[in-house]
Amino acid sequence: MLPPFWQTITLANPVVYLVSGFRWSFYGISDVSLAASVGMIALFLVACLGTIGWIFRTGYRLKP
């Protein structure tokens, strides 16, 4: 329902892949392929865990 420009922009939102995965699990259809959903969710998870690991290692923004 979105114009092509906004459809491309929404693919940067990780919630799109979560919703697409849930939609596939309930109805068997989705806007984004299941492999792309799982891959992007894994990519966002790795990025978040890497950021958290870096914060814990460096003590970022902790006052002594």
pLDDT in tens, 6-32: 999 999 999 999 999 999 999 999 989
Q: CA 60, CA 27: separation in Å to the nearest integer?
A: 43
pLDDT band for position 63 (cuts 50, 70, 90): confident
Residues written for the chain: 64
What is the spatial distance between Cα 15 and Cα 35, in angstroms, rounded to a whole number?
A: 15
Angle at alpha carbon of residue 27, lines to 11 and 15, rounded to 5° = 25
The pLDDT score that the predictor gives to residue 31 is: 87
* Token representation of residue 31: 């806007």
Determine, yes or no, domain membership for 50. yes
Can you give the pTM of this predicted structure? 0.76
| Domain containing residue 49 | 4-58
Is residue 33 a part of any domain in this protein? Answer: yes
Domain count, the chain: 1
How do residues 30-61 score in pLDDT, each as one tens digit?
989 999 999 999 999 999 999 999 999 999 98
Whether residue 43 contacts residue 12, with contact meaning beta carbons closer than 8 Å, is answered with no
